[in-house]
């Protein structure tokens, strides 16, 4: 029989072996495809290394009956978390991934987003999280939500679905929407990328532009927005003081550093003086206090900062009807200022702190804590005007007047004004919101007001002058080299001027002259109608005259002047 080898035999391979080889090749191809997919995913998904990197910076927070997570923002102890976790809590504790637990204090909260900053005091430097650079994250990037629950760091993986923005007051808040689960345990924790960098702060049940998110979509505040808000809460609006160890100050530090002790006298070298408190309102040295602290004692004003540094100051303006006065510290340095709260949002039983220097300078920088007993209390100021006041059970003693009243976040919400003698649990403060509006107007006018260079006294403030029948404003002192000095306005014991008018308009109060000067600018020439008093033996000769004065720019000098 003729024999013809098969195809496989012809090449030395059996047919069933060929089938096996073909199957094996298919498996190998499939295996390579699977390996390629695994390698591709492993390059993108958030892995254990990324979670391990952020783990030391994730904390668990317990605030009374509420709990959640937080992210260490600065290695000196500042932690970012959610406002809803710690709002209203009396006691806050923080547990680290190392199981160490420390008590924390609230530094501040943002009124517009679910974000807050707390602080722990630790002997060791904490491990602050690394925040991703601006603009690094993109849609469809792999991320994970990380929190510390039951002493265990847990993560939920997902991707960034999209970004949204919301305009809040002066800030534009950027949000990240993701499918990675955010729950009560990791709320306040970190949203991280594949490198373990924080790209957002987890929030629970957030509404964006007053709209609920879609089912299965979770929200984080983008890292840039969270950092900006945290820096403002901490008191570092420029973002200085990074996790590498720069210095920053809390709301409490800012408040305490801004409170000043005031010593004001009607005459130089006088043994009679008025004592009070105040706080620095602007970095360039404008101070808020009570009018009754300086109204009759505004010739020599000295202010003392908490570090005992001493500065001269002048009275800028006052509104006796609401017991408000603005001073200006002489000095070109930047002064500490407090964070301003919203007095419209205070409620009965809110915790408050009254700061000031009760009784005398030995008790400077005293803080008393209490609660709000009542709102809209009708209170009469020294001028007889009735204002709405906040009643508190924190003690306000003599010397505390003019100091700040702060909420539990150390934000100024009022100006301490009056306490009832013998009743340590009844004090009154004027709400700050309406005072802020008045203060801003007074300061803006002062910055524009031209310089005359005199210290003046109203009729009722001239008891030391043995002259009767004066009608007008007494020129108590002329500043050397000032426009008034150059124009020949007189002061002194034996010869002085009394101002009765400016450019034909009658004035008989310092406040009236100040208002008139507000209508002029640097370089304008004004005409003052004065009466010059010259002592002649036991009598005074009077000589009405007009004096032209060229107004100048207000100087920055360490000297007193009123206008």
* Under 8 Å between Cβ of 275 and 360: yes
Total Cβ atoms within 10 A of residue 123 = 5
Which one from 319, 323, 397, 461 is the annotated catalytic residue? Answer: 323
The CATH code that applies to domain 339-443 is 2.40.10.10
Within 494-551, residue ranges assigned H as helices are 510-517
What is the rounded CA–CA span in Å between residue 97 and residue 205? 26
pLDDT at 461: 55
Whether 401 sits among the annotated catalytic residues: the reply is: yes
Alpha-carbon separation of residue 22 from 276, 379, 408, 468, 534 (angstroms)? 97, 98, 77, 124, 125
Q: Is the dihedral angle over the CA atoms 156, 160, 162, 166 positive or is it negative?
A: positive
- Encoded tokens for 1: 């029989």
Using alpha carbons, select from 415, 417, 371 the residue that is nearest to residue 398.
417
pLDDT in tens, 124-157: 889 999 999 867 889 999 999 999 987 788 888 9
Which pair of tokens denotes residue 294? 């300086």
Q: Which class does domain 449-550 fall in?
A: mainly beta
Q: Which CATH number fits domain 257-321: 2.40.10.10, 3.40.50.720, 3.40.250.10, 3.40.50.300?
A: 2.40.10.10
Q: Is the pLDDT of residue 241 over 60?
A: no
pLDDT in the model for residue 19? 47
DSSP code string of 383-440: TS-EEEEEEESS---TT-TTPEEEETTSEEEEEEEEE-TT-TT-EEEEEHHHHHHHHH
* Residue 292 among the catalytic residues: yes
Task: Exactly one of 373, 401, 491, 497 is catalytic; name it.
Answer: 401
| Residue 466 annotated among the catalytic residues of the structure | no
Return the CATH fold of 46-248: Thrombin, subunit H (2.40.10)
Would 46-248 and 449-550 be classified into the same CATH topology?
Answer: no
Q: How confident is the model at residue 242 (pLDDT cuts 50, 70, 90)?
A: very low
Options 248, 277, 292, 343, the catalytic residue: 292
Domain boundaries, given as residue ranges, for the chain: 7-42, 46-248, 257-321, 339-443, 449-550
Q: Which of 285-289, 370-374, 426-430, 488-492 reaches the highest mean pLDDT?
A: 285-289
What is the model's pLDDT at position 424? 58
Question: What pLDDT digit, counting tens, does each position of 76-103 carry?
Answer: 899 999 999 998 788 899 999 999 999 9
Say how far residue 337 (Cα) sits from the centre of its chain: 7
CA 312, 315, 316, 319 torsion-angle sign:
positive
């Amino acid at each position: 029989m003729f024999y013809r080898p098969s195809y496989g035999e012809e090449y030395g391979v059996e047919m069933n072996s060929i089938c096996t080889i073909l199957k094996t090749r298919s498996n190998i191809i499939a295996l390579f495809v699977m390996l390629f997919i695994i390698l591709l995913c492993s390059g993108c998904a958030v892995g254990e290394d990324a979670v391990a990197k952020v783990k030391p910076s994730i904390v668990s927070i317990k605030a009374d009956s509420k709990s959640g997570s937080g992210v260490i923002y600065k290695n000196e102890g500042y932690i970012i978390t959610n406002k809803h976790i710690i709002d209203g809590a009396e006691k806050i504790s923080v547990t680290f991934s190392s199981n160490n637990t420390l008590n924390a204090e609230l530094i501040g909260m943002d009124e517009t987003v679910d974000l807050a900053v707390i602080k722990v005091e630790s002997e060791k430097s904490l491990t602050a999280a690394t925040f991703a650079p601006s603009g690094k994250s993109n849609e469809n990037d792999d991320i994970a939500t990380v929190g510390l629950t039951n002493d265990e760091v847990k993560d939920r993986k997902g991707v960034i679905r999209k970004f949204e923005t919301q305009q809040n007051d002066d800030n534009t808040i950027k949000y990240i929407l993701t499918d990675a689960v955010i729950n009560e345990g990791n709320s306040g924790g970190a949203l991280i990328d594949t490198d373990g960098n924080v790209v957002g702060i987890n929030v629970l049940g957030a509404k964006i532009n007053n709209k609920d998110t879609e089912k299965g979509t979770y929200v984080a505040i983008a890292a840039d927005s969270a950092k900006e808000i945290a820096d403002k809460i901490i008191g570092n609006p420029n973002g200085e003081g990074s996790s590498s160890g720069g210095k920053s100050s809390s709301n409490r530090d800012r408040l305490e550093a801004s409170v000043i002790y005031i010593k004001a006298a009607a005459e130089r070298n006088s043994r009679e003086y008025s004592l009070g408190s105040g706080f620095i309102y602007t970095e360039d040295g404008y101070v808020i206090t009570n009018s009754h602290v300086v109204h009759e004692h505004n010739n020599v004003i000295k202010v003392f900062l908490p570090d005992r540094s001493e500065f001269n100051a002048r009275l800028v303006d006052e509104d006796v009807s609401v017991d408000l006065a603005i001073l200006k510290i002489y000095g070109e340095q930047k002064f500490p200022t407090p964070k301003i709260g919203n007095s419209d949002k205070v409620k009965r039983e809110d915790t408050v702190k009254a700061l000031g220097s009760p009784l005398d300078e030995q008790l400077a920088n005293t803080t008393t804590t209490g609660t709000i007993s009542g709102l809209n209390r009708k209170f009469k100021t020294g001028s007889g005007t009735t204002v709405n006041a906040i009643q508190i059970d924190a003690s306000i003693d003599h010397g505390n007047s003019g100091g700040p009243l702060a909420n539990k976040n150390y934000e100024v919400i009022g100006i301490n004004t009056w306490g009832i003698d013998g009743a340590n649990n009844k004090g009154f403060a004027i709400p700050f919101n309406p005072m802020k509006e008045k203060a801003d107007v007074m300061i803006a006018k002062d910055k524009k007001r031209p310089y005359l260079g005199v210290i003046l006294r109203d009729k009722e403030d001239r008891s030391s002058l043995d002259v009767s029948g004066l009608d007008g404003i007494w020129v108590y002192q002329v500043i050397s080299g000032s426009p008034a000095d150059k124009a020949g306005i007189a002061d002194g014991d034996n010869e002085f001027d009394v101002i009765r008018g400016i450019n034909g308009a009658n004035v008989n109060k310092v406040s009236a002259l100040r208002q008139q000067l507000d209508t002029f600018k640097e370089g304008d020439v004004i005409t003052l109608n004065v009466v010059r008093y010259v002592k002649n033996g036991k009598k005074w000769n009077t000589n009405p005259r007009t004096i032209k004065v060229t107004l100048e720019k207000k100087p920055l000098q360490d000297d007193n002047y009123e206008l």
